[in-house]
A = this chain, B = another copy of it.
Amino acid sequence: VKPKVETQAAPKRLSYEEKAALAKNEALKRLYNTMVAKKSNLSVAMDVNSTEKMLALVDEIGPHICCLKTHVDVLDVWNDGVAKSLTDLAEKHNFLIFEDRKFADIGNTVVSQYSGGVYKISEWSDIVNAHIVPGPGIVDGLKQVGLGQNKGLLLLAEMSSAGTMAKGSYTEETVRVADENPDFVIGFISVNPNSWTKKSKDRSLVHMTPGIKLQKGGDGLGQQYNDPKSAIARGSDVLIVGRGVYKAEDPKSSAAEYQKAGWEAYLSEL
């Protein structure tokens, strides 16, 4: 007689509502609530160099995104007025702002880089991200600035670019650092989190995935694209689309298309 083997099913994917309920950080809770309210897991990286064009495009695609990803340091004009325009748009269209600064310095330096300088990133962004190369002191430094202001931090656990060193034991270390800072680290930049051997026990954490495009391919400088459906199937929660939207002939309808594709992919996984 063959013994009965009970196959253990993989833990069911949590809905964004369930994740919101578990979230320990204000910015993370707002992110999930926004996603549910707008039926959007789309983040657009609006990487144009003209500030004027960036603001106009964000106003166009605003209804379709849960989160705007910025690279403030590629814009040709920046001042407090631009920051105000950006936060006004975030309020008008109900999205969070994620400045993709990729902090990567020692704790003492990132304190100033996050709060000071010309950009004063902590004043207008809800979310920033950091590499753990310098060690956990980088999280301590950013937390000094951001925690009291209800900001959230993403750690770069994986990257979409060819030959990235963010893999294996490096990825595992980001999970460890995240678990040590449940009040401030809200999740990861990741590509294939379902494949990780060591996962966080905190199921509220968010996985945001860059390099998303409906057409596969690369850019000649190491970027490798992945489509919405397979990214969601690999465990992603938020899809980051850059050139697929801002270089499209019609960015607004392209954003609508990515919003639909991402949301349907999510629903099909529940």
Contacts and interface: CB of A to CB of B under 8 A. Distances in A.
Greatest chain B CB density within 10 A among A78, A102, A140, A173 is at A102
A54 to B, nearest CB: 12
A170 interface: yes
A131 interface: yes
Contact of A170 (B102, B113, B165): B165
A153 to B, nearest CB: 15
Contact of A222 (B71, B78, B106, B161): B106
A217 interface: no
A173 B131 CA distance: 17
A227 interface: no
Chain A facing B: main interface SS = loop
Interface in A83-112: 100, 102, 104-109, 111-112
Contacts of A175: none
A137 B107 contact: no
A132 to B, nearest CB: 6
Contact of A223 (B107, B117, B133, B166): B107
Interface of A: 47, 49, 71-78, 100, 102, 104-109, 111-113, 116-119, 131-138, 140-141, 156, 159-166, 170, 173, 219, 221-223
